[in-house]
Amino acid sequence: MKILRFLILGLGLSAAACATAPIAWDKPGASREEWERDQWDCRAKARREAEKHLRQQGPSFRSSGLNGTTLDRDMSRHDARRDEQRMFEQCLKLRGYVPKTWKK
């Protein structure tokens, strides 16, 4: 049963990794310095919020029945990273950045 859980987890994480390719951002008229400042600021804000949220949830927030296990902690960290990325992207959008579209 443990092997099945780890296989499912591995497949899920692999699929998530493929689905979250790096995004390039664009803001018309923004300088390189403005981009670097905004990127750093948004990343720092997103990290602080994700860590705060993770701490507030505490060790028993999941309903998986796996509270306190290594798998539970890994899933919590994965969720926190996903939330951090989402908050980072939202911050950039609020500052006027849009994801670049790649033409094939």
Instruction: State pLDDT tens for residues 45-77.
Output: 999 998 888 788 765 444 455 555 777 777 878
Asked if residues 35 and 102 have their Cβ atoms less than 8 Å apart, the reply is no
Could you tell me which residues are beta bridge partners of residue 25? 99
The length of the chain in residues reads 104
Residue at 42 is within a domain = yes
Q: How many domains does the chain have?
A: 1
Is 90 contained in some domain?
yes
Within a domain: 104: no
pTM equals: 0.64
In a domain, 45, yes or no: yes
Mean pLDDT of the chain: 77
